[in-house]
Chains A and B, each alone.
Chain A
Amino acid sequence: MNAALSIVLDAVSYGMVLFTISIGLSIMMGLMRVVNLAHGAFAMIGGYFASYALKQLGLSYPFAIVVAVLGTIVISAPLELLLYRRIYRGASELTQLLLTIGVTFVIIGLANYAFGPTSKPIPLPASLSGPFDLGFRMMPTHRLFVIACGLTTALLLWLLIDRTDFGVRLRAAVDNGGMAEALGIRTQVIYSLTFAIAVGLGALGGVVGAELLPIEPFYALRYMVTFLVVVSVGGAGSILGALSASLLLGLADTTGKYLAPEFGEFFFYLAVIVIVFLFPNGLLGRAQ
C-alpha cells in the first residue's frame, strides 16, 4: 500500500512537471501546427537562467523564476521572428522537424560553450526543501510544490483561454485562421503572443522540474521527443488532454521504473504506441 502511494505521488509530480513544460508546446502545436522539437531546449534555457540568477546574482527563488521566464521569452523572440514564422501552418512535418532540430542543436552547442557540460543545480529555497507532513505520510515539499504549480498553470490557462478576450481570439484563430483575419483579428500577433506564452511556460517547467530533470546541455536532446510525445498523446491544443496524457504517461513511466527499473523508458513508450494507435489524434484531440 505504501509502495503504491509512493508510486502515485511520484507519478503525479513527474506528470505535473511534464504537463507544465508540455502545455506550452500543446497550445503552440494546436494553434500554429508546428512540430517543435526545440521546446525542451527552451525549458533548458529557463533552467540555466534560474541557475545563474540564483547562484551568480543571488536572487531569491521567485525572482529567479521570473528572470528565467522573461529571459527565455526574450531569447526566443528573434527565433520566432526569423525562423518559426516561416514554418507555421503549412510547412511539412519533415521541414518543421529539421528546422527545430537545428535550433536545438545550436542551443545545445551554445549552452555548452557558455556554461560547460556539467549539470547546473537550481537550489531550492528552505521553504520548499525537506519533507512535508501530509498527516498520513511525509512527502518531499518540492513534489507538492510541483503539483501545485501544474494545477495552478492549468487553471490559469483555462481561465485565459476560456474567459478572456485574448482567449476568444486565440480560439478563433485556431478554428479558422482565414476567417479570424477577415474579422480583424491580427493572427500574427496572436501567434507571437502564443509563442511567448508557450516558451515562458516551458521555461517555468524547466526551472520547477529541475530536481527531476537536471539542467545540462544534453537536456534539450534527452527530452527532445518526450514533450512532443506527451502533446501528441493528449491531443494538441487541449489542456485537459495534455493533463491526462502527462499523468497517464507519468504513471506508466514511474510504475515501470519502480517495478522493472532495468526496462527504463520501455513502458512509457509502449503506452505511447498503444494510445496513439487507438487515438491517433490524441486522447482529446481533433483530427487536423
Chain B
Amino acid sequence: MVRQVVVPLVVIGGLGGVGYLLFPDDLAFLTRLISITLLVLSLDLVVGYCGIATLGHAALYGVSAYVAGNVCLIGRSDPLTLLAVGALAGAVVGLVSGAIVARFRGLPQLVLSIAIGQLVGALSNKLSSLTGGSDGLSGITPGRVFGVFSFDMFGRTGYAFSLAVLAVVFVLLSRLVASPFGLICRGIRDDNLRARMIGAAVYPRLIAMYGISGAVAGIGGALTAINTGVVGLDSVSFERSAEGLVMLVLGGAGSLWGALFGAIIFQVFEHLVSAANPFHWMTLVGLLLIAIVLFAPRGLGPAATALWRRARGGER
C-alpha cells in the first residue's frame, strides 16, 4: 500500500522539484517530457507486462492528442475534460489496435502493429480538416484548471498540472500491475499456453490491457495538446513509436520505474545533446541500443540493480 501510493508520490514530486531547479526557464521541455513519459509507461504495459512487440504505439498517443485538440477547439476547454476525452480516445484506439495486434504472436504481430501505426499516420495526413495535415493542429488554448489556475506563458501551471497527472497515473498503474489482472498478464507474457492451461482466456485480457494502455497514452497525448497548444504529424509517426520503445528498453521493460527513469534519462540527454547535432544524437542512440542489447538486455534498471547487488555482496 505504502509502496504503491506514497513512494511514487514522493519520488515523482521530488523529481519534479529537481526538474524545476535544473530547467527553470525551460518548463515547456519538462512538460513535454512528462507527456512522452506517459507514452512510455503505456508502452510498458503492453511490451513489458504482456510481452507484445509493437512499433505502432504512437497511434494511441497521437490520435488522442488530435481528439483532445479538436474538442478544445470546438469550445470544451476544461483541462480535466480534455484529459478524459484523451483517455477515452486512446482507450478506443487501444482496443482496436489490441484486437488486431494481439491476435497473433511473433513476426505477424510486429508487422500488424507497424501497419496500424503507418495507417493512422497516413490517415492523419489525409484528414487535414481534423488534423491540420502537415501543418498540424494549432491554437489549442486550454481553460483554467479547476476554474482557478490558468495556463501561464511560463508553463508553471502546465508543469504542475502535468506532474500531478503523472503522479496519479503512476499510482493507479502501480495498483494495476500488482493486481490479479496484472499478474495474469505477466503469466501470459511468460507462457501463453500455460496461461490458457490454467483456464485463462488470453486474447480478451490482452485486448483489455491494450485498452488501458491506450487510456494512459491518451492522457499523455491530451497533455501534449493542452500544454503546447499544437499537435503535429510527428505525434503519430513511426519515429515516435520507435523512440518510445528505445526509452522503455533503456530503463527496463516490465517495470514501471524502469519505464519512468528510462524516459526521463533519455529525454534529458536528448535535450542536451541533440540540439547540437541531431545526426550525432542518432548515432549515439544507435550505439546505445546496440550496447544495451549486447550487455544489458533487460535494460539499465535491472543491470544497475544487479551491479549494485554484486558490489554489496562483495563487501561482505
**B289 contacts A269, CB within 8 Å?**
no
Chain B hits for A109, CB < 8 A = 279-284, 286
CB-contact partner of B123 in A86, A236, A266, under 8 A: A266
**A277 contacts B112, CB within 8 Å?**
yes
CB-contact partner of B104 in A112, A264, A280, under 8 A: A280
**B122 contacts A264, CB within 8 Å?**
yes
Residue-wise, chain B 248-260 has the 8 Å CB interface mask toward A (1 for contact) of 0100010000000
User: Which of B12-20, B22-30, B31-39, B237-245 lies at the binding interface?
Assistant: B237-245
CB-contact partner of B55 in A97, A113, A221, A276, under 8 A: A97
Q: Which of A35, A102, A262, A268 has the most CB of B within 10 A?
A: A102
**B103 contacts A93, CB within 8 Å?**
no
Residue-wise, chain B 227-247 has the 8 Å CB interface mask toward A (1 for contact) of 000000000001100100110
How far is A97 from B297 in the complex, measured between Cα atoms in Å? Answer: 12
User: Which of A153-161, A165-173, A224-232 lies at the binding interface?
Assistant: A224-232
CB-contact partner of B286 in A105, A272, A273, A276, under 8 A: A105
Specify the main secondary structure of chain A where it touches its partner.
Answer: helix
Instruction: Please provide the chain A residues from 267 to 288 with a CB less than 8 Å away from any CB of chain B in the complex.
Output: 268-270, 272-273, 276-277, 280-281, 288
Residue of B nearest to A79 (CB): B290
Report if A139 contacts B (CB, 8 A).
Answer: no
- A264 CB to nearest B CB, Å: 4
CB-contact partner of B287 in A94, A106, A229, A281, under 8 A: A106
Chain B hits for A83, CB < 8 A = 290, 294
Report if B80 contacts A (CB, 8 A).
Answer: no
The A-B contact count (CB < 8 A) is 136
Determine the interface band of chain B, counting residues with CB < 8 A from chain A.
Answer: 35 or more
How far is A264 from B55 in the complex, measured between Cα atoms in Å? Answer: 19
User: Which of B61-69, B113-121, B151-159, B168-176 lies at the binding interface?
Assistant: B113-121
**B282 contacts A108, CB within 8 Å?**
yes
**A273 contacts B119, CB within 8 Å?**
yes
**A93 contacts B283, CB within 8 Å?**
no
Residue of B nearest to A228 (CB): B111
Specify the main secondary structure of chain B where it touches its partner.
Answer: helix
- B131 CB to nearest A CB, Å: 12
Residue of B nearest to A113 (CB): B279
How far is A236 from B107 in the complex, measured between Cα atoms in Å? Answer: 10
How far is A117 from B126 in the complex, measured between Cα atoms in Å? Answer: 27
Chain A hits for B7, CB < 8 A = none
Chain B hits for A221, CB < 8 A = 238-239
How far is A109 from B104 in the complex, measured between Cα atoms in Å? Answer: 34
How far is A184 from B284 in the complex, measured between Cα atoms in Å? Answer: 42
Determine the interface band of chain A, counting residues with CB < 8 A from chain B.
Answer: 35 or more
How far is A175 from B293 in the complex, measured between Cα atoms in Å? Answer: 28
**B53 contacts A276, CB within 8 Å?**
no
Chain A hits for B238, CB < 8 A = 221, 224-225
How far is A232 from B107 in the complex, measured between Cα atoms in Å? Answer: 7
How far is A153 from B109 in the complex, measured between Cα atoms in Å? Answer: 30
Report if B106 contacts A (CB, 8 A).
Answer: yes
Chain A hits for B288, CB < 8 A = 102
**A35 contacts B287, CB within 8 Å?**
no
A-B contact pairs, 21 of them (CB 8 A): A97-B53, A98-B246, A98-B249, A98-B293, A101-B289, A102-B287, A102-B288, A106-B283, A106-B287, A108-B283, A109-B282, A109-B284, A113-B279, A225-B114, A229-B111, A263-B122, A266-B126, A272-B112, A273-B115, A277-B103, A288-B106
Query: Closest 5 interchain pairs by CB?
Result: A109-B283, A105-B286, A102-B289, A106-B286, A266-B122
Chain B residues within CB distance 8 Å of chain A: 47, 53, 55, 100, 103-104, 106-108, 110-112, 114-116, 118-119, 122-123, 125-126, 128, 238-239, 242, 245-246, 249, 253, 279-290, 292-294, 297
